[in-house]
């Protein structure tokens, strides 16, 4: 047999052809690949400077080992960042296949088996998932190099030749600089068992048969090899510390304050089946059927330590399914580590044994056994089933991203990059929303900065670290913490110099509008740009945490040096082999191979039973899935299916579940759906539902459905009742009636004043010209007071635009204690109208929100609640407040077409209708309800979002439950510290409306008395989803 | 060791250098002509008569910095020429003639900014918006400079022109400390104020401010409707008279007017309109039942309208309530309107349901369709028994007691 194994060549050929071609379609939509690309872009532009301003208001890249990023960066000088990424990915593929080959050879001492191992590695579902779905390039490279180092470590300990110590250490160094977790855990799970195996082999040399190998013999070998083990262990520890010393220093200096972010690998896989699929079924794949063989082999004497290791790895990989991982790792490690890596290592460790099994099945003793016992056809059938199973897993894993996309559609970044480069837009921070992991690719292409980021261990802003969210960008998937965190950024954007938002998900639009943002323009790629007025640009000098020069130098040079060194040392051997005609002695581990002569027949039986069991489990799982998800099998199922269809906007499916006898055609149904708009139908995500059958006969049922909707603004709970009917064994929903109101006019006209602001009239790159700067509209604070309700402090008041132009209003309140010490400040969120026409008034309320769950004692709420409010912790009793109001000329979102009609007081509160008299469809109406006492003084401001939109010339009824005002304490109601555009309010009040008629405000109050109040006022604000 | 000897030898060799000779001071210099202009940008000429040898140089100090000039020597005459580009800065200059590093002559002179010729005029005007009435003003600030950006001297006259509605006024202002300024008042009528400034023949660019209307005065309102019936379908519109300020200017476009309607029950309904050409229009839906409305419009804090009183007659006089055999289906209608026609689609029908003891259970709502509406009391919710129902429609109320019986077996 030739030295070059033909199976290895085949594996490399297939590996490069298959993975090499498909990475171009998968890698960019993986979770991690683009993050590494961003880091690479950082090194490409500033190699030695670890500080990057572009994410999280600045962070250090010393929080992640740099080798892979720096390699991509180096290659990017040749052909761009993506060229670098794909080249590194190709190198990773080659390293992994050859690594698996060498690992196989080391373990089995049989080149054929090693060849099979390499071939199976190419098609192992765990590798495919890690590369094509997760995109964890550093992890793959780290692991592959670790696999390469194993034979060298073996040889060092076995033979004691210093050459092998040097080669193994050089490879360990590369592993360390590419991924920090791999060498640390690799030490425990790969190298310790390997050392055990070496000692075992050494002991085996002392005795004649395996039986004579006792603990005494083993101990003797251990003492003999002890110093080699210690030398290796100590030097690799030094390498782990020194090679990425800046990383350790940074970890010590900036300990991860991030509270745990939920990760699917920590779920109970039986409860959360999707996590079970991704983190258990897919990585194990076909290996699940062969577990008895794998464990049988790994628990043989030579592999005993590997047996222990793989058992530990498989159990740790089960996440929250069993309580063991939590107990073994402890609370902290369990919540920081992603446990999928244990499964990855377990499956990689199983590869040589899998290779051995396939070898024995294809051309070894298992083949002859099977043929002998069950006949040739059964053997062929079994091989075909195994082969088919492997192919099925490959196909399934590769297409997972296609059928269940984990990322939004690929976004063309060029228009956004151009926008940021234009007109000094990069002087402010931006925030992408709904971009998925592609936000990293956007950041890599621009110098502009964002408050968000995609490497959460590096976060510093407490607004982010105290919440279990991955990114602000996809905060809607993270419930209360997500939207809560996002709302903080949207309400006080001045704090972060955040001016532009790129929205790729209209889910967030309402919260943007109600926080006072306005649409700027839609880019060519369909991304909507939102902007906020009155946000100062970034200061010229931004703070950064500097590190010592020598650390920067270490970080910039050591990783690449380790690669060069490892290359020189290890490749030299290859050349030596090629150029030297003398036959080299076989490596020491080659002589411990087993002769595959007699496959244990009991094992065949056990493995058959096991495989059958696994099949049965799968079958049961699929049957359960069928029972729960067949739409029309039971009344509950049809209701569930109907609401799921509505949630995913699959109206055709929803229509197919409606009772045909009532005769709603699909055309009619689509027509009805197309005219409904509002927060529930357009901006809500169904979070949960409870279905209760009120009444059930054989063919009829009545179901009460309590639905819980997540919206960007609030959590909405709404109960519906449905009549259900069974026809021919299938259940249907009886359609409910639709409002038959007809507007009076087919065509009508509307006259309105519209405004246009040129921005800069002169096309220049200079600062906006003096003459083009618009005067700030003048506002007047009519009343303002600091009140306390239910233990919380709020600043409420009323404000008027007294200028002749429409104004965009930002109100910021600061609380002080008796000693004039500042306690807290915050902006008005949606308790105000942010856009005011000339002479329009608005009431406002400013709540002082703290950063949620900053105290570790606070327990995390288990479910979603976006309007969850965390009052700020005040250091003292606030007694004074300062109000800063700023007006800027507004020219959009000035719709005033809503009319308040048919208002009535009912026992529960208020009932009324909103009528839309204008020509824009109001998607989300907001009612601001203010309460006044007998003296007509403002007491409190409340709000209500109305669930359904108001179409043109139509009405929408609403109900509002009045609050109790008995507990209100007015602490301070002085206008002394109120400022408008930086000027004292009193001066403005004297100048513009000299003879103010104060009765006007009073005359517009509703005389509705309730507990603690005598008057109320209703104001309307309207969000228009699709302005015309 | 060998190398260090070499290096040492080189140092010694390099160190042996001849000392530069200092000229003997037998120098005699006589001042001949010093031509100093009065304004900037002209250049300077210095001429001296020299006897003996020596190094001569002219040191010129100005606010720009210090400059050293070398002479041109012809026979016994030494001439220093300072080019115009070195004297562009207005202000004090001092010069020194240095001979063999000693000051031989020195003097100071002042260069004034250049008057006449072209100037550059920096102007600032604001606020860009003044209220009508003649007591609100904007300020024009002028900073005229000469070609070399030197501020013009104090007391230089600047003429400032202001044009409002085709009438031009010219004011004069004089520069002090480089700046001239003028408060420019608006007039009683709205419009555009154009201003400019000039120094001598040099004009500034045109600057502009808007004169916007002052506070609005009280106004009147009117209304327009198709008919006087409360059919909950037609739209009534309210219009203001042209709203003006006390000088007769129409209020600026977009001014918000609140229309407050007080209904029979004392509740306040609200519509809004923004002005266009001084007129604001607001719309409201007709009520669903007979109503008396009192309408008043406000520009909060500034102005209000007169009170408008309106009456709506009920569009529906009466209607029938039909019951099915089991009393479980309740049909309302046909509902007829004021001309005996079927009422428009969408009239709200409410059904209040009470149990036998008169305890409230729920309210069901429906809309009229083809003049009718119906409700179904299903067995799942309403077990057979005695109930009391109340139908509300267009402000009319109908009560009845019904007994629900079971449906036939399916």
Integer Cα distance of A578 and A570 in angstroms: 13
Shortest distance between the Cα of A896 and any Cα of chain B, in A, equals 6
Q: Is the pLDDT of residue A896 over 90?
A: yes
**What mean pLDDT comes out for the span A290-304?**
92
Mean of the per-residue pLDDT values for chain A? 88
Q: Is B90 inside any structural domain?
A: yes
Integer Cα distance of A92 and A36 in angstroms: 14
**Strand, coil or helix: what is B14?**
helix
Quick one: what percent of chain B has pLDDT higher than 90? 41
Q: What is the CATH number of the domain that holds B47?
A: 2.60.40.10
- Tokens in use for B335? 């509902």
Lowest mean pLDDT among A398-402, A850-854, A958-962: A850-854
Q: Model confidence at A57, in pLDDT bands (50, 70, 90)?
A: confident
Shortest distance between the Cα of B152 and any Cα of chain A, in A, equals 23
Do A853 and A919 contact (CB within 8 A), yes or no? no
User: What pairing do the DSSP bridges indicate for beta strands B129-131 and B207-212?
Assistant: parallel
**Which of A677, A961, A936, A1022 minimizes the C-alpha distance to B272?**
A1022
Residues B287 and B250 in one domain: yes
ipTM of the complex: 0.85
**Shortest CA distance from A736: residue in chain B:** B366
Q: Is B18 inside any structural domain?
A: no
Residues B208 and B264 in one domain: no
HSE value, Cβ hemisphere, 13 Å, CA-based, for B313: 10
Residue A872 confidence (pLDDT): 67
Residue A73 confidence (pLDDT): 96
Q: Is B19 inside any structural domain?
A: no
Domain, as residue range, for B334: 321-404
Phi first, then psi: give them for residue B107, nearest 5 degrees: -165, 165
Q: Note whether B298 contacts A: Cβ–Cβ < 8 A.
A: yes
Q: Is B21 inside any structural domain?
A: no
Q: Is the pLDDT of residue A861 over 50?
A: no
Q: Angle of helix A340-363 relative to helix A137-159, nearest 10 degrees? A: 60
Q: Angle of helix A192-206 relative to helix A304-316, nearest 10 degrees? A: 160
Residue A393 confidence (pLDDT): 92
Instruction: State yes or no: cis peptide before B334, omega within 30 of 0.
Output: yes
Integer Cα distance of A59 and A38 in angstroms: 13
Q: Note whether B300 contacts A: Cβ–Cβ < 8 A.
A: yes
Integer Cα distance of A344 and A146 in angstroms: 14
Residue A729 confidence (pLDDT): 83
Q: Which residues of A185-208 are buried (b: 16+ CB within 10 A; e: fewer)?
A: bbbebbbbbbbbbbbbbbbbeeee
Residues B163 and B79 in one domain: no
Cβ–Cβ gap A695/B266 under 8 Å:
no
Cβ–Cβ gap B129/A905 under 8 Å:
no
Integer Cα distance of B227 and B320 in angstroms: 25
B167: Cβ–Cβ under 8 A, 6 or more apart, which residues? none
As for how many domains chain B has, the answer is 4
Q: What is the CATH number of the domain that holds B390?
A: 2.60.40.3080
Do A768 and A758 contact (CB within 8 A), yes or no? no
A824: Cβ–Cβ under 8 A, 6 or more apart, which residues? A814, A815, A848, A850, A872, A874, A878
- Measured over the CA atoms of residue A171, residue A174, residue A178 and residue A183, the dihedral's sign is positive
- Number of Cβ atoms within 10 Å of the Cβ of A441: 23
Q: Is the pLDDT of residue A733 over 80?
A: yes
**Strand, coil or helix: what is A544?**
coil
Contacts of B287 in chain A (CB under 8 A): 901-902
Cβ–Cβ gap A901/B269 under 8 Å:
yes
CATH number of the domain located at residue range(s) A630-733 in this protein: 3.10.450.100
Domain boundary among B111, B144, B160: B111
3-state helix, strand, coil in chain B (%, to 5): 5, 55, 40
Q: Note whether B215 contacts A: Cβ–Cβ < 8 A.
A: yes
> pLDDT digit string (tens) for A809-844?
999 999 998 888 888 889 999 999 999 999 999 999
Integer Cα distance of B201 and B206 in angstroms: 15
- Which residue(s) pair with B350 in the sheet? B365, B392
Integer Cα distance of B364 and B171 in angstroms: 77
Residue A843 confidence (pLDDT): 96
Phi first, then psi: give them for residue A347, nearest 5 degrees: -70, -35
User: What pairing do the DSSP bridges indicate for beta strands B229-230 and B308-314?
Assistant: parallel
Residues B41 and B125 in one domain: no
> pLDDT digit string (tens) for A302-342?
999 999 999 999 999 988 888 888 888 888 788 878 888 89
Residues B134 and B106 in one domain: no
Q: Is B369 inside any structural domain?
A: yes
Record the pTM.
Answer: 0.88
Rg over alpha carbons for chain B, rounded to the nearest Å, is 48
Q: What is the CATH number of the domain that holds B158?
A: 2.60.40.1930
Q: Is B301 inside any structural domain?
A: yes
- Tokens in use for B406? 């079971």
**Which of B95, B75, B25 minimizes the C-alpha distance to B54?**
B25
Shortest distance between the Cα of B344 and any Cα of chain A, in A, equals 7
B108-147 residues touching A, CB cutoff 8 A: 124-129, 131
Q: Which helix (H) or strand (E) holds A235?
A: helix A215-243
**Which residue from B288, B300, B345 is facing A839, i.e. has the nearest CB?**
B300
A403: Cβ–Cβ under 8 A, 6 or more apart, which residues? none
Domain boundary among B188, B212, B236: B212
Query: Structural domain boundaries of chain A?
Result: 6-30+64-406+551-598, 414-531, 630-733, 771-855+870-1023
Phi first, then psi: give them for residue A822, nearest 5 degrees: -70, 130
Q: Model confidence at B410, in pLDDT bands (50, 70, 90)?
A: very low
Residues B69 and B127 in one domain: no
Q: Angle of helix A340-363 relative to helix A304-316, nearest 10 degrees? A: 130
Q: Which helix (H) or strand (E) holds A1021?
A: strand A1015-1023
> pLDDT digit string (tens) for A640-684?
888 888 888 888 888 888 887 766 788 878 777 777 777 888 888
Integer Cα distance of A186 and A195 in angstroms: 12
> pLDDT digit string (tens) for A145-162?
999 999 999 999 999 999
Cβ–Cβ gap A695/B127 under 8 Å:
no
Residue A442 confidence (pLDDT): 94
Residues B308 and B329 in one domain: no
Contacts of B235 in chain A (CB under 8 A): 744-745, 917, 953
Residue A854 confidence (pLDDT): 34
Domain boundary among B212, B230, B246: B212
Cβ–Cβ gap B284/A899 under 8 Å:
yes
Q: Is the pLDDT of residue A853 over 50?
A: no
Q: Is the pLDDT of residue B298 over 90?
A: yes
Cβ–Cβ gap B274/A752 under 8 Å:
yes
> pLDDT digit string (tens) for B28-73?
888 888 888 888 888 888 888 888 777 889 999 988 789 999 888 8
Lowest mean pLDDT among A24-33, A129-138, A851-860: A851-860
User: What pairing do the DSSP bridges indicate for beta strands A835-836 and A924-932?
Assistant: unpaired
Lowest mean pLDDT among A123-137, A468-482, A643-657, B33-47: A468-482
Residues B160 and B91 in one domain: no
- Strand ranges (E), B70-179: 72-74, 77-82, 91-99, 102-111, 120-126, 129-131, 137-145, 157-164, 167-174
């Amino acid at each position: 047999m030739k030295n070059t194994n033909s199976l290895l060549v085949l594996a490399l050929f297939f590996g490069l052809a298959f993975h090499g071609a498909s990475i171009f379609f998968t890698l960019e939509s993986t979770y991690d690949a683009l993050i590494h690309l961003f880091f690479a872009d950082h090194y490409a532009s500033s190699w030695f400077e670890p500080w990057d301003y572009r994410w999280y208001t600045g962070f250090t890249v010393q929080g992640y080992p740099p080798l892979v990023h720096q390699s991509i960066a180096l290659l990017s000088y040749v052909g761009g960042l993506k060229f670098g990424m794909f080249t590194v990915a190709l190198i990773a593929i080659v390293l992994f296949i050859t690594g698996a080959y060498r690992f196989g050879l080391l373990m089995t001492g049989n080149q054929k088996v090693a060849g099979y191992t390499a071939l199976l590695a190419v098609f192992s579902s765990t590798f495919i998932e890690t590369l094509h779905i997760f995109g964890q390039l550093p992890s793959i490279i780290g692991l592959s190099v670790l696999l390469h180092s194993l034979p060298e470590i073996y040889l060092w300990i076995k033979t004691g030749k210093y050459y092998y110590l040097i080669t193994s250490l050089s490879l360990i160094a590369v592993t360390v600089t590419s991924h920090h977790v791999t060498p640390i855990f690799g030490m425990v799970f790969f190298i310790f068992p390997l050392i055990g195996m070496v000692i075992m082999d050494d002991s085996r040399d002392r005795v004649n048969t395996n039986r004579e190998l006792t603990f005494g013999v083993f101990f003797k070998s251990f003492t003999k090899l002890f110093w080699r083990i210690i030398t290796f262990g100590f030097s690799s520890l030094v390498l782990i510390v020194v090679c990425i010393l800046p990383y350790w220093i940074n970890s010590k200096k900036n300990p991860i304050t991030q509270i745990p972010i939920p990760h699917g690998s920590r779920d109970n896989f039986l409860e959360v089946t999707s996590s079970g699929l991704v983190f258990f079924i897919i990585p194990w794949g076909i290996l699940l059927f062969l577990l008895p063989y794998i464990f049988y082999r790994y628990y043989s004497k030579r592999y005993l330590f590997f047996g222990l290791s793989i058992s530990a790895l498989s159990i740790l990989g089960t996440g929250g399914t069993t309580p063991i991982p939590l107990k073994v790792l402890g609370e902290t490690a369990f919540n920081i580590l992603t446990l999928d890596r244990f499964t990855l290592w377990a499956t990689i460790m199983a590869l040589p044994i899998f290779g051995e099994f396939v070898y024995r099945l294809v051309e070894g003793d298992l083949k002859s056994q099977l043929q002998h016992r069950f006949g040739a056809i059964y053997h062929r059938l079994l091989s075909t089933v195994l082969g088919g199973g492997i192919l099925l897993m490959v196909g399934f894993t590769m297409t997972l991203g296609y059928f269940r996309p984990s990322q939004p559609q690929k976004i063309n970044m060029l228009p956004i990059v151009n926008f940021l480069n234009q007109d000094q837009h990069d002087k402010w921070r931006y925030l992408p929303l709904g971009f998925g992991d592609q936000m990293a690719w956007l950041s890599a292409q621009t110098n502009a900065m964002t408050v968000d980021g995609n490497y959460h261990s590096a976060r510093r802003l407490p607004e982010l670290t105290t919440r279990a969210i991955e990114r602000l960008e996809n905060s809607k998937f993270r419930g209360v913490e997500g939207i809560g965190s996002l709302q903080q950024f949207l309400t006080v954007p001045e704090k972060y110099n955040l001016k532009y938002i790129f929205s790729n998900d209209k889910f967030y639009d309402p919260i943007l509008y109600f926080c006072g943002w306005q649409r700027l323009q839609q880019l060519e790629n369909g991304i909507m740009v939102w902007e906020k007025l009155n946000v100062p640009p970034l200061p010229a000098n931004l703070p950064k945490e500097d590190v010592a020069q020598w650390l920067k130098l270490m970080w910039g040079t050591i990783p690449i040096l380790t690669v060069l060194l490892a290359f020189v040392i290890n490749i030299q051997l290859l050349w030596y082999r090629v150029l030297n005609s003398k036959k080299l002695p076989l490596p020491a581990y080659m002589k411990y191979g087993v002769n595959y002569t007699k496959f244990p027949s009991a094992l065949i039986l056990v493995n058959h039973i096991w495989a059958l069991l696994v099949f049965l489990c799968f079958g049961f799982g699929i049957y359960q899935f069928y029972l729960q998800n067949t739409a029309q099998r039971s009344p509950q199922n049809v209701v569930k299916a109907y609401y799921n269809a509505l949630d995913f906007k699959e109206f055709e499916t929803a229509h197919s579940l409606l009772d045909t006898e009532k005769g709603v055609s699909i055309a009619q149904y689509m027509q009805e759906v197309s005219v409904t708009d509002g927060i529930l139908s357009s901006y809500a995500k169904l979070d949960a539902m409870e279905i209760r059958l009120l009444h059930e006969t054989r063919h009829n049922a009545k179901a009460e459905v309590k639905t819980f909707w997540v919206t960007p603004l609030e959590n909405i709970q709404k109960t519906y009742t449905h009549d259900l009917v069974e026809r021919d064994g299938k259940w249907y929903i009886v359609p409910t009636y639709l409002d038959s109101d007809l507007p009076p006019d087919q065509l009508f006209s509307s006259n309105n004043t519209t405004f246009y602001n040129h921005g800069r009239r002169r096309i220049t790159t200079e600062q906006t010209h003096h003459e083009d700067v618009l005067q700030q509209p003048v506002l007047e604070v009519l009343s303002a007071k600091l009140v306390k309700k239910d233990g919380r402090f709020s600043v409420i008041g009323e404000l008027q635009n007294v200028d002749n132009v429409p104004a965009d209003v930002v109100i910021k309140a600061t609380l002080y204690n008796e000693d004039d010490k500042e306690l807290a400040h915050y902006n008005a969120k949606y308790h105000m109208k942010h856009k005011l026409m000339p002479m329009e008034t608005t009431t406002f309320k400013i709540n002082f929100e703290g950063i949620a769950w900053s105290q570790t004692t606070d327990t995390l709420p288990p479910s979603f609640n976006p309007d969850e409010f965390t009052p700020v912790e005040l250091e003292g009793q606030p007694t004074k407040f300062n109000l800063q109001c700023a007006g800027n000329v507004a020219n959009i979102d000035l719709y005033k077409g809503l009319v308040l009609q048919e208002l009535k007081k009912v026992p529960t509160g208020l009932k009324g209708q909103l009528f839309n008299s204008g020509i824009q469809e109001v998607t989300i109406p907001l009612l601001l309800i203010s309460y006044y006492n007998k003296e007509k003084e403002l007491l409190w401001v409340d709000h209500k979002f109305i669930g359904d939109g108001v179409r043109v010339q139509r009405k929408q009824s609403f109900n509002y439950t009045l609050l109790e005002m008995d507990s209100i304490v007015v602490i301070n109601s002085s206008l002394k510290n109120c400022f408008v555009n930086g000027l004292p309010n009193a001066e403005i009040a004297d100048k513009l409306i000299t003879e103010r008629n104060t009765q006007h405000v009073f005359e517009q109050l509703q005389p509705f008395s309730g507990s603690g109040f005598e008057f109320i006022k209703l104001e309307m604000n309207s969000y228009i989803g699709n302005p015309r | 060791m060998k190398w260090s000897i070499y290096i040492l030898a080189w140092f010694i060799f390099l160190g042996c250098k001849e000392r530069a000779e200092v000229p003997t001071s037998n120098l005699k210099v006589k001042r001949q002509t010093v031509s100093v202009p009065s304004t900037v940008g002209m250049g300077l000429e210095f001429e001296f008569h020299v006897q003996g040898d020596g190094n001569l140089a002219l040191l010129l100090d100005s606010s720009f910095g210090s400059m050293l000039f070398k002479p041109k020597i012809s026979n016994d005459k030494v001439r220093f020429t300072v080019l115009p580009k070195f004297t562009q800065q207005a202000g004090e200059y001092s010069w020194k003639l240095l001979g063999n590093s000693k000051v031989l002559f020195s003097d100071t002179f002042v260069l004034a900014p250049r008057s006449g010729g072209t100037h550059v005029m920096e102007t600032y005007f604001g606020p860009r918006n003044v209220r009508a009435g003649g007591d609100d003003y904007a300020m024009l600030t002028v900073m005229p400079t000469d070609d070399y950006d030197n501020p013009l001297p104090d007391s230089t006259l600047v003429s400032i022109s202001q044009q409002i509605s085709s009438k031009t006024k010219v004011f004069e202002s004089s520069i002090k400390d480089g700046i001239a300024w003028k408060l420019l008042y608006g007039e009683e009528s709205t419009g555009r104020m154009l201003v400019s400034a000039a120094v001598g023949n040099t004009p500034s660019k045109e600057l502009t401010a808007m004169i916007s209307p002052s506070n609005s005065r009280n106004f009147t309102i009117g209304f327009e409707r198709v008919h006087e019936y409360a059919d909950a379908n037609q739209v009534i519109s309210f219009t203001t008279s042209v709203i003006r300020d006390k000088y007769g200017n129409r209020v600026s476009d977009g001014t918000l007017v609140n229309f407050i309607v007080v209904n029979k029950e004392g509740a306040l309904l609200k519509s809004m309109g923004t002005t266009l050409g001084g007129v604001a229009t607001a719309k409201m839906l007709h009520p669903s039942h007979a109503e008396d409305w009192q309408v008043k419009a406000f520009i909060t804090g500034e102005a209000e309208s007169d009170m408008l009183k309106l009456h709506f007659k009920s569009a529906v006089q009466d209607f029938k309530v039909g019951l099915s055999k089991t009393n479980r289906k309740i049909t309302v209608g046909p509902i007829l309107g004021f001309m005996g026609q079927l009422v428009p689609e969408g009239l709200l029908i409410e059904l209040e349901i009470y149990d036998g003891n008169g305890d409230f259970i729920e309210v069901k709502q429906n809309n009229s369709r083809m003049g009718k509406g119906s409700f179904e009391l299903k067995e799942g919710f309403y077990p057979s028994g005695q109930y009391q129902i109340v139908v509300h429609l267009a402000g009319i109320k109908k009560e009845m007691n019904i007994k629900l019986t079971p449906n036939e077996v399916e």
